[in-house]
Amino acid sequence: MDKFDFNGKKVLVTGASSGVGREVAILLSKMGAKVVIVARRENQLKNTISLMEGDGHSYRVLDLADFDEIIVTLKDIVSKDEEKFDYIAHCAGLAIPIPLRSMSMANISQIFSINTYSFMALLKCVAQKRLFNDGGAVVGISSWAGVDGQAANAVYTASKGAIDAFMKSAAKELIPRKVRVNTICPGGIRTEMLINQVVKNYEGEKIEDLPDYLMLPDKVASIVVALLSNSMQCISGVAIKVDEAKNWE
């Protein structure tokens, strides 16, 4: 069996309207998966579909801020074609730098809803045998900053640290079903998220001025897909730091 073969497998990719999620969806389509992509921006989802290979892919407009709606949507997707999911790549995320003095319940809740609670809702679906097949895998994108901390970004980093902790327990609970659960913790990636932050934080700085050591989203996508694949059958319950070699010095 080809350990990188996703033929006949159904995969959900969140955050596939841009950045890493889009690259994950494209790569999985090339590897034979039937991919369902979700995000809020419909036009961008359609763009992603147009870049994918093969047939049978679909998109759903979904706001991941709504815990219950995530579960309703996954149930609906499964009931439509009567095929359960085999894999989930949770790539959606929201990064808003907030200094400690500016924290409010509203902005904490917004960031946790999208980064953390949505991951919990997805794992609730995974735990339901009628929605998710045994033997599959889930990968969530956390953040290097969630492991190490980052000034003026405590809320975002906590929301990411929380998914790492949640993932470890979920991985243990899903052992009987042979479902693997992991997260990756990337450093800087050259995507809309970072570009928006840089422009906001350092007014006047150009995108071209972003440092060379930032990872390209397709590189991160290949790590996500490898971790989903059967080639990583012995890895579960692990948060893996990933970054360009420069940052290892």
Ligand X SMILES: NC(=O)c1ccc[n+]([C@@H]2O[C@H](COP(=O)([O-])OP(=O)(O)OC[C@H]3O[C@@H](n4cnc5c(N)ncnc54)[C@H](OP(=O)(O)O)[C@@H]3O)[C@@H](O)[C@H]2O)c1
What would the x/- binding string for ligand X be over residues 49 to 68, using CB under 6 A?
Answer: -------------xxxx---
CA distance 35 to 13: 7
Residues 146-205 that bind ligand X (CB under 6 A): 186, 188-189, 191-194
Give the pair of three-digit tokens for residue 51. 């870049």
Residues 111-150 that bind ligand X (CB under 6 A): 114, 141, 143
Q: Which is nearer to ligand X, 71 or 230 (CB)?
A: 71
Q: Which is nearer to ligand X, 105 or 234 (CB)?
A: 105
Q: Which is nearer to ligand X, 161 or 186 (CB)?
A: 186
Residues 6+ apart with CB under 8 A from 144: 185, 186, 187, 241, 242, 243
**Helices 154-173, 118-126: crossing angle, 10 deg rounding:** 10
Cβ-contact 243, 173 below 8 angstroms: no
* 44 sits near ligand X (criterion: CB under 6 A): yes
* 83 sits near ligand X (criterion: CB under 6 A): no
Shortest gap between Cβ of 231 and ligand X (angstroms)?
Answer: 22
One of 31, 92, 139, 223 touching ligand X (CB under 6 A): 92
Instruction: Candidates 93-101, 121-129, 200-208, 226-234: pick the segment binding ligand X (CB under 6 A).
Output: 93-101
Instruction: Candidates 38-46, 147-155, 169-177, 198-206: pick the segment binding ligand X (CB under 6 A).
Output: 38-46
Shortest gap between Cβ of 5 and ligand X (angstroms)?
Answer: 25
The amino acid at 67: F
Give the pair of three-digit tokens for residue 132. 């998710």
One of 15, 88, 164, 224 touching ligand X (CB under 6 A): 15
CA distance 84 to 105: 36
Alpha helix (H) residue ranges in 65-190 = 67-81, 105-112, 118-126, 144-148, 154-173
Strand order in the sheet with 34-39: 58-61, 34-39, 10-14, 85-90, 132-141, 180-186, 239-242
Give the pair of three-digit tokens for residue 152. 């003026």
Give the pair of three-digit tokens for residue 182. 């992991």
* 17 sits near ligand X (criterion: CB under 6 A): yes
Q: Which is nearer to ligand X, 168 or 177 (CB)?
A: 168
Interface with ligand X (CB under 6 A): 15, 17-21, 39-41, 44, 62-65, 91-95, 114, 141, 143, 186, 188-189, 191-194, 217
